[in-house]
Amino acid sequence: MNAKRKIIIDCDPGIDDALALMLALCSPEVEILGITVVCGNVPTEKGAENALKVLQWMDRLDIPVYLGEERPLVRNYVDAMDTHGEDGLGESHYPYVTTVRPRAGAVKFLADSLLTAAASKEKLSIIALGPLTNLARLVQQSPESLDGLDQLVSMGGSYKSHGNCSPVAEYNYWCDPHGAKVVYNAFYTLPQLSGKEIHMIGLDVTRQIVLTPNLLEYMCRLNPERGEIIRRITGFYMDFHWAQEGIIGCVINDPLAVAYFLAPSLCTGFSSYTDVETEGISLGQTLVDAYGFWGRHPNSHILTETNPVSFMEMFCSRVLKGSEKALHPMLCQLMGGCEK
């Protein structure tokens, strides 16, 4: 068997972050060195408590959780508790973990882990599920450590899809547009990242991943204990989607970033130079230069298509332990059919 790929998950849990963590924790191909938390959906400390709750559900409290940046690089911090609830987990109010506490120093942990990876030649990947503030600080404070980076997958931005914070902006990049710009810029300019691209899992693909009440019911039948956790944390999120977008169900963005890292064929897209707007009414918009107007080499790989049934198969087989053979026909039925 191939060696496990080492990863750090940088996140802001967050309901869909929690689902993404569950998927990663059920995936034998990866070794999660740590979870770093950034301010986003909820303030950093609350996000770290939520990461610990997820680790407790999954019996993996051995994985360290690190506190990261408490505010965006330049902008005032705007949380997303209207979407994720006061506790950030859909007002499920699971008890706090008391046996383990979050550690300080997410950016230092990222830098040290990358430097170790660079020295050992066993590179390290980062899956970023929140605003890119921690990673922007990493670029500013320890650019040499990026030599140890294998792949960066970032849930954020959009190419042709409308935004979820403004007509054009997605929350993670809107929350800290300057942070996102620093990271995209680093992938254009830094020699140690030469030839590398940020894998951008934006709203174009994540909007296709909708957890409907039927799918949720199926998950509860497959695995009553984990299904119940998912039911308890997503009810608030479903109500929000109904009020905001007229959707029955909820878009679960972050788990697709993990799924894509595990199985890149789940999404397809193209390479492009991308920049992030930091001012005015388009604040946080990703400007994807798909047609090469600026003549710049690519710093990003923009994912535009995905296969929602294959994603759900992966999620249900791993997190809910559903039998792979039975899943496919059932998911085809629940998700509106598959090609014969």
Site size for ligand BDR (CB under 6 A)? 15
44 makes contact with ligand BDR (CB under 6 A): no
**Cβ proximity to Ca ion, 40 vs 235, nearer residue:** 40
- When binding is defined by CB under 6 A, the residue of 37, 51, 54, 80 that contacts ligand BDR is 80
35 makes contact with Ca ion (CB under 5 A): no
- When binding is defined by CB under 6 A, the residue of 30, 34, 38, 41 that contacts ligand BDR is 41
Q: Which residues of 124-148 are buried (b: 16+ CB within 10 A; e: fewer)?
A: bbbbbbbbbbbbbbbbeebbebbbb
Shortest reach from residue 154's CB to ligand BDR, in Å = 10
Specify burial of residue 107 (Cβ count, 10 A radius: 0-12, 13-18, 19+). Answer: buried
SS3 103: strand
129 makes contact with ligand BDR (CB under 6 A): yes
Stretch that binds ligand BDR, among 9-17, 57-65, 91-99, 225-233 (CB under 6 A): 9-17
254 makes contact with ligand BDR (CB under 6 A): yes
| Strands across the sheet containing 149-155 | 103-104, 65-67, 30-37, 5-11, 124-128, 149-155, 198-201, 300-306, 267-276, 286-289
130 makes contact with Ca ion (CB under 5 A): yes
Amino acid (1-letter code) at residue 56: Q
Amino acid (1-letter code) at residue 110: L
Q: Which helix (H) or strand (E) holds 198?
A: strand 198-201
State the residue number with the nearest CB to ligand BDR: 171
**Cβ proximity to ligand BDR, 227 vs 284, nearer residue:** 284
- Partner from ligand BDR, Ca ion, none contacting 80, C-beta within 5 to 8 A by type: ligand BDR
* Helix, strand, coil shares, percent, the chain, to 5: 45, 20, 35
- When binding is defined by CB under 5 A, the residue of 126, 129, 138, 152 that contacts Ca ion is 129
Nearest residue to 84 via CA among 241, 219, 211: 241
**Cβ proximity to ligand BDR, 269 vs 322, nearer residue:** 269
Q: What is the DSSP string of 249-284?
A: SEE--HHHHHHHHH-GGGEEEEEEEEEE--SGGGTT
Peptide bond into 14 cis (omega under 30): yes
Stretch that binds ligand BDR, among 27-35, 170-178, 264-272, 322-330 (CB under 6 A): 170-178
79 makes contact with ligand BDR (CB under 6 A): no
**Cβ proximity to ligand BDR, 80 vs 219, nearer residue:** 80
164 makes contact with ligand BDR (CB under 6 A): yes
d(CA 114, CA 249): 38
Interacting residues toward ligand BDR by CB under 6 A: 14, 16-17, 41, 80, 83, 129-130, 155, 164, 170-172, 253-254
Interacting residues toward Ca ion by CB under 5 A: 12, 14, 17, 129-130, 254
